Structure 1
């Protein structure tokens, strides 16, 4: 019996980015959003062009620089987002320079089905177990394509270690792709909320999974995954000295991140572990 009958019914512009940003002098000095922007002293000299120019020149000469050596392949908005976040948020002002060698590298557009299938397989098990299970499952079809997954035998999928529930989830996922229930060609124009709703209509896909898909696959710039335990933990440690944090607390912190919540979330994740979470 095939898996389908059994049901009865996670490339972007390659843009090397190196943003040279001035480091403000003194612990409380503001960090300008644009390279070598006006300092507080220059701002106070409003209406006095000569004084402002002199202050800016002095700041340029005195302020050491830090280079954000971002890896190739990051989303085109990443450098500008880093600049703005460093200006607005004291924690990110510290974290981003420390972790700038790491950045989101979106997955290729041809891997949407595999990305979501891997998310389903990894649910409620350890990272190590998820990797082992995925490697076994990935060997079953000649290619990880939805039409080929639908031709797999349920017994073979179960023998690879998949639970009956995850088999059903994978079949429903494959059917959504083969029956064109997902408006993939329109994703670039659709809002985050609409895409999340479409993905959550697939059995076994939670809001957390959908939001991570928007981050890692679509590279949407303003995703805030409040159901993510790592984000909540990172906000607790970096903003509340380790005290418990509610969703409301996290949302309030993230107000300063808009419209770059994805970038801020990435660096909060990175502050907890050296390697990417997915």
Structure 2
């Protein structure tokens, strides 16, 4: 857990005390074991997010590998300049949809024009301010920005209200007949502050547990 800037043990204790119903879920799941994905730059992290959208992990990894293979001289992954120099048809031939090509090009232009923060600067920005900057990029919506903050930066207090898997996990964990509305999830999530990311991770894990 060294990658996190917060004490995950303190977060677990807080959640168990603040929400006894969630504490039962946490006991079933076991120790907190959320892993962060490493990032060499904000560009590569967001480019990967764009490629992976609406695809299975296996299919997305294959396409991302094909895009990387277009630029064999880029030792640390392809760059904004690589994307902007590449003909759109070449990117499409790697398996990218037309919409994803446009999104990658927009991301590359914004990074090249210094419209987005560097990764180290992003690490120091307020959650809301950073999300607002990221969603200016074509193809990066609020959900994608929130996933970046959670799984790339390890921010402790993110609650993706529109996440279908989270809403489904909530309904299963708390034995609800219907999926919660975003507003219901938001209200319940007030108990979990300032560690809503940790609560989300525990809820997501319940989707892989046998029914009780």
Q: 1:206 aligns with which of 138, 141, 153?
A: 141
Q: Residues of 2 paired with 1:222 and 1:213: CA distance? A: 13
SS of equivalent to 2:194: coil
Unaligned runs of 5+ in 1: 1-13, 16-72
Closer, same or farther in 2 for the Cα pair 1:114/1:242, shift >3 Å? Answer: farther
Structure 1 stretches of 4+ with a deviation exceeding 6 A read none
- CA offsets per residue over residues 29-50 of structure 1, 9 Å max, x none? xxxxxxxxxxxxxxxxxxxxxx
Instruction: Identify which range, 225-234 or 148-157, moves more after superposition.
Output: 148-157
Q: 1:147 aligns with which of 73, 81, 100?
A: 81
Q: Corresponding residue for 2:127?
A: 192
- 1:75–1:105 Cα contact (<8 Å) kept: no
TM-score where L is the length of structure 2? 0.86
Cα RMSD (Å) of the superposition?
2.0
SS of equivalent to 2:85: coil
TM-score where L is the length of structure 1? 0.67
Matches within 5 A, 1:1-278: 15=2, 73-141=3-71, 142=74, 143-184=77-118, 185-273=120-208
Structure with greater contact order relative to length (CA < 8 Å, sep ≥ 6)? 2
Q: Residues of 1 paired with 2:30 and 2:80: CA distance? A: 36
- CA offsets per residue over residues 155-200 of structure 1, 9 Å max, x none? 2211111122211110111122222111234323321111111001
Instruction: Looking at secondary structure, tell me which structure has more strand per residue.
Output: 1
Unaligned runs of 5+ in 2: none
SS of equivalent to 1:150: helix
Structure ID, larger Rg: 1
Aligned length: 204
Report the CA distance between 1:216 and its aligned residue: 0.8
